[in-house]
Homo-oligomer: A and B are copies of this chain.
Amino acid sequence: MTTTKKTYHHGDLKITLIQAASDLLHKEGANALSMRKLADIVGVSRTAPYHHFKDKNALLCAIAANGFEQQTKQLRQLIEQQDHSEETFKKYVFLYIHFAQQQSELYDLMYGRTLWQTGTPNDDLKLASRQAFKCWIDWVEALQKNGVLTSSNTPLRVGQATWASLHGLARFLIDGIYVDEENVTEMAEQMLEMMVIKHPLA
């Protein structure tokens, strides 16, 4: 990398593009992420990226898919501790919110309508997101068995409801409406109180 691209053929343009795009997304936001600017940064002609990605949508899908893989990894690390306790659950909730805040542009790309509604989600993206989702549902099931989450419904439904709640908080935070960053902890804790089963005593 950083071969000052003197050769006609770049070599690993595809990966370089994804990296540069992720970088640009993180630093300047989705709005500043254009195919042309990207090509410029990488040091290649405007249309060169189109030999590696069908269109902008495809590039964005690749970035988003990476994001889901990151999240899946985080989840797996927590799950593999085999400790399906309330504390671990809380830990992940804060980790999730933290991820959304630190990578707000990426988070928006991953879950927003740009790809899922306006655009066309890639097969890779669909797979990556489904994996993250499945991971969550499995964990919810374990948490239900440990009495952390309610068993009044299937893991799927409880998983959807809890994730949706989390997602809503994350969105309010990163979209900048109704909620300011100072009180994240308080709000997350209030939300946790709604989600987690209250036990009389330990």
Contacts and interface: CB of A to CB of B under 8 A. Distances in A.
- Which bucket holds chain A's interface residue count? 35 or more
A113 interface: yes
What is the copy number of this chain in the assembly?
2
Nearest to A136: B178
Query: Binding site of A, secondary structure by majority: helix, strand, loop or mixed?
Result: helix
Nearest to A130: B178
15 contacts: A30-B118, A31-B118, A111-B177, A112-B175, A117-B174, A117-B176, A152-B190, A152-B193, A153-B186, A157-B183, A161-B194, A163-B172, A164-B187, A164-B191, A168-B171
Interface of A: 29-31, 108, 111-113, 116-118, 129, 133, 150, 152-153, 157-158, 160-172, 174-179, 183, 186-187, 190-191, 193-195
